[in-house]
Chains A and B, each alone.
Chain A
Amino acid sequence: MSVLTLTIEGRDVAGQTGGTILQVARENGIAIPTLCHLQGLSDVGACRLCVVEVEGQRKLLPACVTAIDEGMKVTVNSERLTAYRRRIVELLFTERNHVCSVCVADRNCELQDLAVELGLTHFDLPLLSPQASVDATHERFGIDHNRCVLCTRCVRVCDEIEGAHTWDVMGRGTEARLITDMGIPWGDSNTCTSCGKCVQVCPTGALFEKGRSVAEARRRRPYLPYLVAHEGRTR
């Protein structure tokens, strides 16, 4: 392992070979917005919120899956990046049904936090308002597909940490939905161990514990101390 030096936001920083831009930035206290990333799980580069500009690269690169390189010059914040990130969050909101005032995750939601951070005050795009279903067949938990942003954190925690691989994604584009086992009701799943890890890592109000009402979802993050979404935050 050797050490590579690069600049992020004009600051000289160093990181190990194989490290990602996101890791090095966070180690140095430089914030990059993320949604699908969860430290401790594999990265999939799905949400595109962490895109950064790298000098000499025409394309924007997702910081969570881009390995650092010697002499790299990375820009984390620019007008263009903020505008794109805001648009990404807007697309996530308008693709499903997000009504924060009646959501279990209100004020405990990473999507909501991102909207606030990025200054998303209104939608320019039309709401798709799909009729997505709710699966409440599990004894203790439920999933409201109307709130799911397809970050696949639940899929990864279930597969990589619990080893059950109950969750998966079926369908494409706006039709994509999370499924349990081969698309059977969650309550009928015989791989689900009812550990609740998926519920704890869900950034939104999609996965919830039964019996929680509006704004009552509290992620019990100390329960999974090795998984960190945002350093220095409690959820």
Chain B
Amino acid sequence: MYRLLDRITRGLASADELAELESLAAMVRDTSLCGLGQGSPNPVFSTLRYFRDEYMAHIDDHVCPAGVCKMEPREAAVAAGEGAR
């Protein structure tokens, strides 16, 4: 999941990879033994619920609307701080 998110924040991911991220997150949530595992994909779910358009902007338009992520091939949009995890 981290790898997929990392690729998204660098503008390298495809829409398939977003679907992959969602299915992986659902599997981890549903099959885990303890609350740690069940809760670990929550950041993915909640950011997808409220900011799906921003995910899509990274993938389709190759821009980070918040100006946080360093997009890989194009040198634009460089800012301090952490990439959206």
Known contacts: A59-B38, A126-B3. The answer to whether A87 contacts B30 by CB under 8 A is no
Interface contact B33-A88, CB-CB below 8 Å: no
- CB-CB under 8 A for A87 and B23, given A59-B30, A62-B33: yes
**B47, chain A: closest CB distance, angstroms:** 21
- Interface size on B, as a range, is 10 to 19
Which chain A residues lie closer than 8 Å to B20 at the CB level?
124-125
Per-residue A-contact encoding for B49-70, CB less than 8 Å = 1, 0 else: 0000000000000000000000
**Inter-subunit contact B31/A88 (CB<8 Å):** yes
Shortest C-beta distance, A198 to chain B (Å), equals 24
B31, A48: Cβ atoms closer than 8 Å? yes
- For the complex, what is the distance from the CA of A62 to the CA of B37, rounded to whole Å? 14
Residues of A within 8 A of B33 (CB): 45, 48, 62
Residues of B within 8 A of A60 (CB): 30-31
Chain A neighbourhood of B24, CB < 8 A: 87, 125
**CA gap between A83 and B32 in the complex, in Å:** 15
Judge whether B15 is part of the interface by a CB distance below 8 angstroms: no
B27 within 8 A of A: yes
